[in-house]
Amino acid sequence: MVIITLQRDKCIGCNYCVEMAPVQFQMSKKDGKSVLIKSVNAKGFYTLKSPDHTIVESCELAAKACPVKIISVKET
């Protein structure tokens, strides 16, 4: 299982996550912040749990590129 978490409230809208992992991230037209596609919100933490391990590399690149370090990627 792959668990990706985004602290959306702290997003500055730089778009790096979308460039690195366009399948998992997109930018909101409403507020210009990142959206973790198909995620569940729990108190500002948007979490996606996926059995697809092929998304790990691109999501880790997105996490490393994020200037405010609000993306985490864990494999279980």
Q: How many domains does the chain have?
A: 1
DSSP string, 20-53: H-TTTEEE-TTTS-EEETT-EEETTEEEEEES-G
Q: Please give the pLDDT value at position 45.
A: 97
CATH of the domain at 33: 3.30.70.20
Q: Please give the pLDDT value at position 19.
A: 98
What is the extent of the structural domain holding 60? 1-73
Question: 16-34 as b/e, with b when 16 or more CB fall inside 10 Å?
Answer: bbbebbeebbebeeeeeeb
Question: Tokens in use for 52?
Answer: 């697809």
Structure confidence by residue, pLDDT tens digits, 16-25 = 999 999 999 9
How many whole angstroms separate alpha carbon 53 and alpha carbon 18? 18
Low-confidence stretches of the chain (pLDDT < 70) are none
All residues at 6 or more sequence positions from 42 whose CB lies less than 8 Å from its CB, including other chains: none
Q: Please give the pLDDT value at position 18.
A: 98
Give yes or no for a contact between 44 and 8, defined as CB atoms under 8 angstroms apart.
yes
